[in-house]
């Protein structure tokens, strides 16, 4: 038993990928996010278009938020939750920064494990991108947090099938605290739900795939995150020879707050200026 009360077997990496146990009042964050997201959606009025279908499965829905003027382009945000929890409704408030800068923002939900494996979730993320791209003209930027950071990076991989016109518009990916190499997750308790094997971990690890040449990438991570997440972020930046930014003083649950601030470094990197 570890000092945090988490049972660990020899070689078990579950503690390395635990977050809330190492964040003060970490268990309170989901309720805060949900309340902020609901208030933000309500404030947008007709500029919020919730529950747009992008696929046949129950959770294949996205919310589209529109700026006051013609959109400069599209931001797609993919939520985290270790591919096992959460949904688009919990993160609406994070659209505030890009919206204030004149960009439309789409937030999809996707089928969660164990109903779908990570390879299937990647395909749903690509389908959500295609559907959102059909609704908003201009350049496309993808971002996401944690497991969503993994998906944002996967959409920047050249092996993920996108329509040629969509791929040409995908100018940038900004993974936030991404899981870039899934190999370590084979040695966590969550793999009982994820059902990863070595082959899928290799195929679905952005750090083991080639980046789409037309898509620029900048990785963000909090300076006070677990060492495993700092390693994951640096690994992706090294393998893809792309910039990475460590935000001082931020942990895994508050590093994403900067998305709501139109003047933040994160939003500047997202929109390239």
Label residue 177 by pLDDT band (50, 70, 90).
very high
Label residue 191 by pLDDT band (50, 70, 90).
very high
**Which two structure tokens, joined as six digits, stand for 128?**
């959500």
**Which two structure tokens, joined as six digits, stand for 102?**
């004149």
Instruction: Please provide residue 258's backbone torsions phi and psi, each rounded to the nearest 5 degrees.
Output: -65, -20
Label residue 11 by pLDDT band (50, 70, 90).
confident
The answer to whether 266 touches 95, Cβ cutoff 8 Å, is no
Q: How far apart are CA 225 and CA 168, in angstroms?
A: 34
Say what the pLDDT of residue 218 is: 98
pTM given for the model: 0.95
The answer to whether 68 touches 47, Cβ cutoff 8 Å, is yes
The answer to whether 78 touches 143, Cβ cutoff 8 Å, is yes
Over range 152-178, report the average pLDDT: 98
SS in 3 state form for the chain? CCCCCCCCCCCCCCHHHCCHHHCCCHHHHHHHHHHHHHHHHHHHHHHEEEEEECCCCCCCEEEEECCCCCCCCEEEEECCCCCCCCCHHHCHHHHHHHHHCCCEEEEECCCCCCCCCHHHHHHHHHHHHHHHHHHCCCCEEEEEECHHHHHHHHHCECCCCCCHHHHHHEEEEEEECCCCCCHHHHHCCCHHHHCCCHHHHHHCCHHHCCECCCCEECEEEECCCCHHHHHHHHHHHHHCCCCEEEECCCCCCCHHHHHHCCCCHHHHHHHCC
**Which two structure tokens, joined as six digits, stand for 225?**
């995150």
Over range 117-138, report the average pLDDT: 98
Q: How far apart are CA 128 and CA 108, in angstroms?
A: 6
């Amino acid at each position: 038993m570890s000092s945090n009360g988490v049972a660990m077997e020899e070689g078990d990496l579950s503690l390395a990928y635990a977050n809330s146990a190492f964040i003060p009042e970490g268990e309170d964050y989901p309720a805060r996010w949900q309340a902020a997201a609901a208030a933000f959606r309500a404030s947008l009025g007709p500029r919020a278009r919730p529950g747009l279908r992008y696929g046949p499965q129950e959770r294949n829905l996205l919310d589209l938020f529109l700026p006051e003027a013609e959109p400069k382009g599209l931001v797609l945000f993919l939520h985290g939750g270790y591919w096992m929890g959460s949904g688009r409704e919990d993160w609406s408030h994070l659209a505030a920064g890009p919206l204030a800068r004149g960009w439309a923002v789409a937030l999809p939900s996707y089928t969660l494990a164990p109903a779908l494996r990570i390879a299937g979730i990647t395909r749903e993320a690509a389908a959500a991108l295609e559907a959102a791209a059909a609704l908003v003209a201009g350049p496309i930027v993808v971002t996401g947090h944690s497991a969503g950071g993994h998906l944002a990076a996967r959409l920047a991989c050249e092996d993920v099938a996108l329509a040629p016109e969509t791929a040409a518009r995908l100018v940038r990916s900004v993974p936030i605290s991404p899981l870039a190499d899934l190999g370590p997750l084979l040695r966590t308790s969550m793999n009982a739900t994820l059902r990863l094997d070595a082959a899928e971990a290799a195929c679905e690890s952005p750090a083991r795939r080639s980046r789409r040449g037309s898509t620029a990438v900048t990785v963000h991570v909090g300076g006070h995150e677990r060492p495993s997440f700092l390693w994951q972020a640096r690994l992706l930046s090294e393998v893809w020879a792309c910039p990475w930014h460590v935000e001082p003083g931020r942990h895994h649950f508050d590093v994403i707050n900067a998305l709501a601030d139109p003047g933040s470094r994160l939003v500047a990197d997202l929109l390239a200026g």
